[in-house]
Amino acid sequence: MTKKYTLTILPGDGIGPEAMAEVRKVIDWLKNNKALSFTLHEDDIGGAAYDRYGVPLADETLEKCHASDAVIMGSVGGPKWDNVDYDKRPEAGLLRLRKEMGLFANLRPALVFDALIDASTLKPEIVKGLDILIVRELTGGVYFGEPRGIEDLGNGQRRGINTQVYETYEIERVGRVAFDLARKRGNKVHSCEKANVMESGKLWREDITALHQAEFNDVTLEHMYADNCAMQLLRNPSQFDVIVTDNLFGDILSDAAAMLTGSLGMLPSASLGEADKAGLYEPVHGSAPDIAGQGKANPLATILSFAMALRYSLDLSNEADAIESAVQDVLNNGQRTPDIMADGCTEVSTAQMGDALIKALEQ
């Protein structure tokens, strides 16, 4: 029996489309070699959607996403849309997609591949074997809090306002995801906030503590101020297993954790909501407009995001494993896009990297 899945593919802006072209090769390979059938809906998001629909995420696109088992996204944004109004900027399309799909838990693994250990700017002994999972709250906090805006104070001054706000249910549900995942990994959670200066951080700490006591006291929990966490990530990253944190701190800490691994070009992410809903899968890196269209982009983060979709939304963990080990093989064979290029390796283009991956899958 052929299993059937519906995917929405949103290539987006910058290097998004060229990375997504390599994901399509993997999808085609799965179609041809496994008893799997994929119906693909392709649409625009971000600047590409703004150019086509006048908004960075059209209602009809959102409907397709809701009707899919998973959404695979490239990246959004670029200087072309710098002067577009805030609510129509490419990033606003992504934020709306996360919010409307209810994707409150963003999983950002930072994994150091042995073959890439020299790509890290940190000493190899600090990052070897690193395997951190950041669980970032994704639909609340200062990204969405009201009031927000820029006010004219009438005296030649203006005031910019954003609101950091969390309610208990938002903290508990993302906390639950983090503790659950920790049980399947190193059984340790660091919860990060700024309880020393922010009431929302104090509430975060209290609610995580209560949740831990009530449901997860077999998991080791440590609280850490977010600024200290940034420092500890560089000082001694292997102390971390799962880090759970709010939307803004998660945005920042996940970039820091990502760079421990040497290249943003390697890191996937999954955004999940309530168990039965479709997830959104996207690379951690941005749209890199400076290298777009030149065949220099590393497609592996987007391909690994697709692997996460197979694992978390389609329940195809064997296929996810196969893709992940094919990525290891390609790296071990020394094929490298410019972002991860090293002495003695062969530099390959975006498309050549995709082809190499298919070859590794075939073996």
Residues engaged in binding ligand IPM (CB under 6 A): 77, 91, 94-95, 251
Structure tokens at 362: 């075939």
Which of these is catalytic: 44, 166, 194, 207? 194
Residue 147: is the preceding peptide bond cis (ω within 30°)?
yes
Q: Is 143 a catalytic residue?
A: yes
324 belongs to the binding site for Mg ion (CB under 5 A): no
| Residue 270: contacted member of ligand IPM, Mg ion, none (CB under 5 to 8 Å, by partner type) | none
Residue closer to ligand IPM (CB basis): 94 or 348 = 94
Among the listed residues 69, 170, 251, 339, the single contact to Mg ion using CB under 5 A: 251
Q: Which residues pair with 160 in a beta bridge?
A: 150
Q: Is 225 a catalytic residue?
A: no
Give CA–CA dist 300/23, Å, rounded: 9
Residue 270 Cβ, how far from ligand IPM at the closest point, in Å? Answer: 12
37, 70 in Cβ contact below 8 A? no
Give CA–CA dist 281/310, Å, rounded: 10
Q: Is 4 a catalytic residue?
A: no
246 belongs to the binding site for Mg ion (CB under 5 A): no
Residue 251 Cβ, how far from ligand IPM at the closest point, in Å? Answer: 5
Q: Could you tell me if residue 334 is left (phi over 0), alpha (psi between -120 and 50 degrees) or otherwise beta?
A: left
Strands 70-75 and 279-283, sheet pairing:
parallel
Which of these is catalytic: 131, 227, 329, 355? 227
Which of these is catalytic: 13, 44, 207, 255? 255
Residue closer to ligand IPM (CB basis): 284 or 323 = 284
In the complex, residue closest to ligand IPM by CB:
91
249, 193 in Cβ contact below 8 A? yes
| Residue 91: contacted member of Mg ion, ligand IPM, none (CB under 5 to 8 Å, by partner type) | ligand IPM
Residue 251 Cβ, how far from Mg ion at the closest point, in Å? Answer: 4
Q: Is 207 a catalytic residue?
A: no
| Residue 215: contacted member of Mg ion, ligand IPM, none (CB under 5 to 8 Å, by partner type) | none
13 belongs to the binding site for Mg ion (CB under 5 A): no
Residue 184 Cβ, how far from ligand IPM at the closest point, in Å? Answer: 24
Residue closer to Mg ion (CB basis): 91 or 215 = 91
Residue 91 Cβ, how far from ligand IPM at the closest point, in Å? Answer: 4
Residue closer to ligand IPM (CB basis): 95 or 230 = 95
Site for Mg ion in 118-157 (CB under 5 A): none
Q: Is 194 a catalytic residue?
A: yes
Residue closer to Mg ion (CB basis): 192 or 353 = 192
Residue 284 Cβ, how far from Mg ion at the closest point, in Å? Answer: 7
Residue closer to ligand IPM (CB basis): 74 or 77 = 77
Q: How many chain residues bind Mg ion (CB under 5 A)? A: 1
Structure tokens at 170: 């938002």
Residues forming the active site: 143, 194, 227, 251, 255
Residues within the interface to Mg ion (CB under 5 A): 251
